[in-house]
Amino acid sequence: MTATRRQPGASRSLTGLAAALLPEEREAPEDPAARQADGSWHARVPARLESVVASMPLPARIGIRAAAAALDGYAVVRTGRRLAALPAPERESVLGSLGARPALLPLLDVVKVPVLLAAGTERMVQQGLPAPALLRQDPPLDCTPSDEWPACSTADAVVIGSGAGGATAARTLARAGLRVVVLEEGRHHSTASFGRRAPLDRFAELYRDGGATVALGNPPLLLPTGRAVGGTTVVNSGTCYRTPDHVLARWAREFGFAPAARLGPYLDDAERTLRVARQPLDVLGSNGRIALAGAERLGWQAAPLRRNAPGCMGSCQCVVGCPTGAKQSVQLSVLPAACAAGARIVTGARVLRILVDPDRPGGARAVGVRVAREGGGTLEILAPLVVVAAGALQTPPLLRRSGLGGHPRLGRNLSVHPATSVAGRFAEPVTAWEGVLQSVGVEELHSQGVLIEATATPPGMGSFVLPGTGRELRTELDDAHSLATLGAMIADLPSGRVLGRDRVLVRYDLARRDADRLVAAVRAMGRLLLAAGAQEVLTGIPRAPRVRTLAELDDVLGRVSARQLHLSAYHPTGTAAAGADPERFPADPAGRLRGVHGVLIADASVLPGCPEVNPQLSIMAAAHAVADLRLGR
Amino acid sequence: MTAAGRSGRGSTRGTAFRESMLGTVRLDGEDHTRRVRLDLHVTADRVLRPLGTTEAQAQGRVRIAGWANDPGAAGELEISPLARHRIRYRITFTADGRRLALDGWKSVTPRRPLASMTRLPFTLYEDGVRAGEGALRFPLASGLAPFLASFRFPRNEGGPDTFAPPRWSGSPGRTEVWYTTATDPATGTGLWLHHELVAPTDGSAPYAHGWAAVFPTCGPVTHARFGPAAWERPQDGFAAAGVAARPGRLTGSAGDLRWDLAEQPAGAPLFTFPRWSWRRPLLPAAQMLPAARADYSGTVSYGTTTLALDGVPGATARIFGHGNAHRWAWLHADLGDEVLEVVAAVSTRPVLRRLPPLVFLRLRRRDGSTWPRRAERTAVGWAGLGRFRCAIGLPTWTVTGRAGLRRIRVEVTQPADRTLALEYTDPDGARATCRNTERADAQVVLERWWGRWRPERRWTLDGTAHAEVGTR
């Protein structure tokens, strides 16, 4: 056994970390050239890990490096040598001694995530990327990089953000004859470009902070959001739920959100635009079928999800951009229509601030935006209407740095759909990543605020973290094809807030009720998997990673709280909510920001409460309604 | 300026300055940049508000190397360096037969005040479609001093309409006059329309009256009076006894004289007396011209003759005060490109009537400036020293004076056969006789000191000067 060689481009401590968490199966050849020739995916993990870490935001980067350095330091103290220099058995024992301390297990799980991501990617590359067939050519978009956009220009409306809300608002305004400019911080990625590149390479570009956006709190939540032309719709799972009637009724009755009462036709329009249909069974994949079988055995209500992916080929890459173009993200459906109506998209354009004229007759008025160009420098666009659709996490800081953050409730009222996932091991191969990524919805517990969705990702890319370290983890990774994964998200109380002006800081404290819901969700998912025939259930709980029976699961869940689960969160909403009460809602019932003329909120932040389902349709319908109200319709 | 005029605009002074900027532009479809120069004369109808926003008009020249050189560029500026952090320029010009719009703004930031105040990125548009992009820079080293020196805060005089409404507010012992004189260059005929409101000192009802007179080259002076008639307090000018003198229009008849004239003002107001004396009637009387020059078109008929006037030169003047002077002389001389207005008067007040005539002489120059700059200069000089002098007499009277490096001599001759003698009645019932002609001769000599007095301009008016001498 020899020490692990450092790969070019990878730091010594990260190399050590990767080697310790995921040891090689057998002794590698001494000669580096031979190692390369060996083609072992494992050898490339440190370099890949380095690039994963490099794409993360500074705090996460520092955290991972510090953790790796601490691990290395521990190894030095214990053995006199750094991890990378240790033979595999000694590394295993170092890690084992750490794993024996329960308090350190969650920390180890955190550093495992990027390592698994890197390993999963390299394994996939090694196995050969399936060449996806392009279903259809992308419809044309009028995109201009910000560096080529003039420094001074004018428009009738500026839309900040090209996600579900921004795209829909842009299309509505452009069709009404307005000269619309859509500003997008990310870049435009064509479907063909998705097919050409490995999933992880897309990951860093398509997600804000390399997907490592974290909501601070106890427990902290991973809160990934997209950043590209099309926003998060490029990287969501394509699941399209209509806003439930009871949610709409609550928005209208309790909050006085004007569009809620007439959202039906807008939801219809959004469904037509996205060609939403129930996912056919042919490409559903084993993961979905297992969920359906389990639900059937339990007599639970479950069905393939309604999705915006006509002709989906089950590439299972929704979360890094559909490589076949089946998923009708807004850059393939809504934005082309907006561009056809004259809207123009500026990419690589981060809005620094909304320009406000404080001395206009009748009060302060937004008159345009100042934008940071990708290549340095700024540009300004003057427009009498500014539509803010930067997403629930970015809209409040943008308003604050524009001097429009005066409302005390701006940034508060954050709902995020906390989610957790559970895997089940089956005797026969599942190969969950062959099929639809999010395939089946189990709505049995939806009335209790729990929505279970069979969600499988390529190994390492999902929110489920395989248990163990060292050889155990390696075995789990090699055995990943026998795992079926379920995810559950819960309808939460608005327990979070978005802080910051220039940098976003998300704070989220899980409410006790929601913690109970999450535990109930884990139990329900375990029950479903066992009913479907799972040999064991991987709970994702570091102290009790595997259970074999429902009784064991109940026993484990009786001893843990939601804080010990692996939590992630999706669908942030409500941070610039619209409603009737001027003291509670930063925006008026028609989505106009209070305290200034000429600012519309048209993204997830305008929703006054948790939509309780995947929110793309709700956001699109709300944005459409808000834009229509502005046009006096 | 009237109170109404002031409140209507909110600012009594405007702003004017010149700004030049240099830079480059890249036209769409070209692979190279062109040099640009923008020279603007910016005017605003209010004093620049550093903390607020000022809308201003701009005129000037746009030069783009090898493509455009348009001296008729025009547009507007939005000057708001602190409130909106923006100074926006929107200028339209013609280049190569194409109509283009330059739209750009300086984005003022306190972090980089100098750079942000001097750099103007802009986009060119043709019919709303982008045609190019560039940036201009204000050259601080060479441009700052001329830029700062060019700042002016001219008074907002308002249009001639501002001065047409009656000033009289009901006090007894006031007289107010609207009078118009013009010369038809085609026939040499002079025209005088005099509209007068008198509020007697004894408090009896005010009355309106007046007269019209025609001074033909061949034939005697014809005149006819109208009124007296009750004063109906019109809002926009003089109107009584079927005669009206309203902004832009003079109509009426007196005896066999009829007139219907359109008035087209040309030039800024000219205050013969100090401006303050018109705003605050502290002097016994004050005279001013709503427009230094006006053109008249329409018809005037007297007897069997009808004159068709088409843009003939003249002027309307306004007088408001307590009555006529003890002695006076008046001249309005249209010198072609310049206008000379002279009033020399001796007050009726007990002590003042012993003084020599106070001379108010105003020469409106081609560039719109007035010489001497202050009206008080010609009347009182420096505590009496250096004041202008007037020898009132008939048929010839003269005015001489020096201000700064210039001196002027005006000699007016009013031949008796071209002169009309009329009797004025003051509000207190006193009478005065005026001898007026709109066909006076005048010699005006302007000299400039340059080692010695050298002639600068000399005008000879042969029967086209308007003059009057009043005595008691």
DSSP code per residue over B16-83:
EEEEEEEEEEEETT-SSEEEEEEEEEEEESS---TTS-EEEEEEEEEEETTTEEEEEEEEEEEEETTT
Report yes or no: A154 at the B interface, CB cutoff 8 Å. Answer: yes
Residue B214 has pLDDT above 60, yes or no: yes
pLDDT digits (tens, 9 = 90+) for B83-135: 999 999 999 999 989 999 999 999 999 999 999 999 999 999 999 899 999 99
Bigger pLDDT: A86 vs B249: B249
Task: Please tell me if residue B299 touches chain A, with a CB cutoff of 8 Å.
Answer: no
Q: Which residues contact A409 (CB under 8 A, 6 or more apart)?
A: A577, A583, A584, A585, A586
Range of lowest pLDDT (A92-101, A600-609, B50-59, B296-305): A92-101
Lowest mean pLDDT among A49-58, A180-189, A612-621, B1-10: B1-10
Is pLDDT of A38 > 70?
no
Give per-residue pLDDT as tens, A565-587: 888 899 999 999 999 999 999 99
3-class DSSP state of A460: coil
- pLDDT value for A458: 75
Give the pLDDT band of residue A179 (cuts 50, 70, 90): very high
> Is A370 within 8 Å of chain B by CB?
yes
Task: Please indicate whether, in this complex, the C-beta atoms of B84 and A153 are within 8 angstroms of each other.
Answer: no
pLDDT in tens, A363-388: 999 999 999 999 999 999 999 999 99
Q: CB of A284 within 8 A of CB of A436?
A: yes
Record: contact A151-B123, CB cut-off 8 A: yes
Mutate to test the interface with B, among A152, A179, A359, A596 (most CBs of B within 10 A): A152
Closest residue on chain B to A179 (Cα): B128
Measured between beta carbons, which residues in chain A are less than 8 angstroms from residue B84?
355, 357-359, 367
Q: What pLDDT is attached to residue A34?
A: 45
Provide the pLDDT for residue A18.
85
**Nearest-CB residue to B103 (from A152, A355, A370):** A152
Contact status of B123 with chain A (Cβ, < 8 Å): yes
**3-class DSSP assignment, residue B214:** strand
Give the chain B residue nearest A355 (alpha carbons): B84
According to the 3-state scheme, what is the secondary structure of A463-507? CCCCCCCHHHHHHHHHCHHHEEEEEEEECCCCCEEEECCCCCEEE
DSSP for A395-421 reads HHHHHHHTT---STTTT-SBB--EEEE
Mean pLDDT score, B254-261: 94
Q: Do B107 and A378 touch (CB under 8 A)?
A: yes
CA distances for A23 relative to A35, A78, A292, B21, angstroms: 15, 19, 36, 68
- In Å, how far is A384's CA from the nearest CA of chain B? 14
Q: Alpha-carbon distance B456 to B448, whole Å?
A: 6
Report the C-alpha gap between B268 and B261 in whole angstroms. Answer: 20
Minimum CA–CA partner of B81 in chain A: A357
Q: Per the residue annotation, which of A189, A417, A571, A624 is the catalytic one? A: A571
How far is residue A27's CA from residue A33's CA, in Å, rounded to a whole number?
A: 15
Instruction: Give me the mean pLDDT over the A22-41 stretch.
Output: 57
Give the count of Cβ contacts less than 8 A between chain A and B. 39
CA-nearest residue to B86 within chain A is A357
Note whether B53 contacts A: Cβ–Cβ < 8 A: yes
B-chain residues within 8 Å CB-CB of A358? Answer: 83-84
User: Which one of B86, B90, B124, B125 would you mutate to disrupt binding with A, by most A Cβ within 10 Å of its Cβ?
Assistant: B86
**Residue B158 above 90 pLDDT?**
no
Flag whether pLDDT at A105 surpasses 80: no
List domains and CATH numbers for chain B.
15-149 (2.40.128.120), 160-471 (2.40.370.10)
User: For residue B194, what are its two tokens?
Assistant: 């005099």
Give the CA distances from residue B344 to residues A64, B326, B391, B467, in Å, rounded to whole numbers and listed in that order: 95, 11, 9, 11
Percent over 70 (pLDDT), chain B: 97
| pLDDT over 80 (residue B215) | yes
Q: By the CB < 8 Å criterion, does A378 face chain B? A: yes
Which pLDDT score is estimated for A5?
A: 54
> In B, residues 80-109, which contact A (CB 8 Å cutoff)?
80, 83-86, 103-105, 107
CB nearest B103 (choices: A154, A358, A378): A154
A chain contacts of residue B85, beta-carbon cutoff 8 Å: 355
Assign A174 a pLDDT band (cuts: 50, 70, 90).
very high
Instruction: Give the pLDDT confidence score for residue A511 in this predicted structure.
Output: 93
- Residue B16 C-alpha, separation from nearest chain A C-alpha, in angstroms: 23
| Of the listed ranges A141-150, A201-210, A236-245, the one predicted with least confidence | A201-210
| Alpha carbon distance B333, B382 (integer Å) | 27
Structure tokens at A56: 């993360």
Q: Which residue of A has its CA nearest to B128?
A: A154
Contact A319, A117 (CB under 8 A): no
Spatial distance between the Cα atoms of A93 and A366, rounded to a whole number of angstroms: 62
Quick one: closest CA in A to B25, which residue?
A150
A442, containing H or E segment:
strand A438-442
- Beta B406-413 vs B129-137: how paired, if at all? unpaired
Nearest to B107 among A153, A358, A380 (CB): A380
Q: What is the mean pLDDT of residues B176-184?
A: 95
pLDDT at A613: 94
Least confidently predicted of A236-250, B3-17, B177-191, B260-274: B3-17
User: What's the rounded mean pLDDT across residues A386-394?
Assistant: 96
Q: Strand B243-246 relative to strand B293-302: parallel, antiparallel, unpaired?
A: unpaired
Q: Of A52-61, A392-401, B379-388, which range is least confident?
A: A52-61
Q: Give me the residue from B53, B84, B104 closest to A152, CB to CB.
A: B104
Q: Please check the confidence at residue A40 and state whether its pLDDT lies above 80.
A: no
A378 neighbourhood in chain B, CB within 8 Å:
107
Looking only at the bridges linking them, the beta strands covering B270-271 and A536-538 are unpaired
Task: Please give the pLDDT value at position B7.
Answer: 36
Mean pLDDT of B415-429: 92
Residue B191 confidence class, pLDDT cut points 50, 70, 90: very high
CA distance linking residue A373 with residue A352, whole number of Å: 10
Residue found by looking up tokens 């599942």 in the block: A430
Closest CA to B68 of B129, B19, B134: B134
- What percent helix, strand, coil does chain A show, rounded to 5? 40, 20, 40
Tens of pLDDT, residues A403-442: 999 999 999 999 999 999 999 999 999 888 889 999 999 9
Q: What is the mean pLDDT of residues A479-493?
A: 92
| A359 and B CB contact within 8 Å | yes
Which two tokens mark A468? 């163990």
Could you give the C-alpha distances from B461 to B331, B370, B432, in angstroms and in order? 12, 20, 28
Give percent of chain A with pLDDT exceeding 90: 63
* pLDDT greater than 80 at residue B2: no
Query: What would the pLDDT profile of A275-332 be if each residue is shown by its tens digit?
Result: 999 999 988 999 999 999 999 999 999 999 999 999 998 888 888 899 999 999 999 9
Residue B123 has its nearest CB partner, among A150, A355, A378, at A150
Question: What is the rounded CA–CA span in Å between residue A510 and residue A516?
Answer: 10
Chain A contact for B121 (CB, 8 A cutoff): yes
Which among A150, A357, A378 is the nearest to B84, CB-wise? A357
Could you read off the pLDDT of B42-54 as tens digits, one per residue? 999 999 988 999 9
Write the DSSP string, B294-320. EEEEEEEEETTEEEEEEEEEEEEEEEE
Distance from CA of B121 to the nearest CA of A (A): 6
- Nearest Cα to Cα of residue A477 among A115, A89, A210: A115
Cross-chain residue pair B133–A150, CB shorter than 8 Å: yes
Share of chain A above pLDDT 70, in %: 96
pLDDT at A92: 85
Cβ-defined contact of A152 to B83 (cutoff 8 Å)? no
B72 to chain A nearest CA, in Å? 24
Mean pLDDT computed over A212-239: 90
The residue-averaged pLDDT of A355-359 equals 94
**Cis, bond preceding A396 (omega within 30 deg of 0):** no
Q: Is A381 on the interface with B (CB under 8 A)?
A: no
Mean pLDDT of A205-228: 87
The model's pTM? 0.81
Cα separation, B396 vs A237, in Å, equals: 103
A78 touching chain B per CB within 8 A: no
**Mutation site for A-interface testing, chosen from B26, B123, B129 by largest number of A Cβ within 10 Å:** B123
CB nearest B123 (choices: A153, A359, A378): A153
Which of helix, strand or coil describes residue A57? Answer: coil
pLDDT the model gives residue B11? 64
Model pLDDT, residue A4: 52
pLDDT at A8: 60
Residue A571 annotated as catalytic:
yes
Distance (Å, rounded) from C-alpha A501 to C-alpha A351?
A: 12
Q: Determine the residue type at A448.
A: Q
pLDDT at residue B3, rounded to an integer: 36
**The tokens of A230 are what?**
């099309």
State the average pLDDT for chain B: 92
On whether any CB of chain B is under 8 Å from the CB of A355, the answer is yes
Cβ within 8 Å, pair A357-B103: no
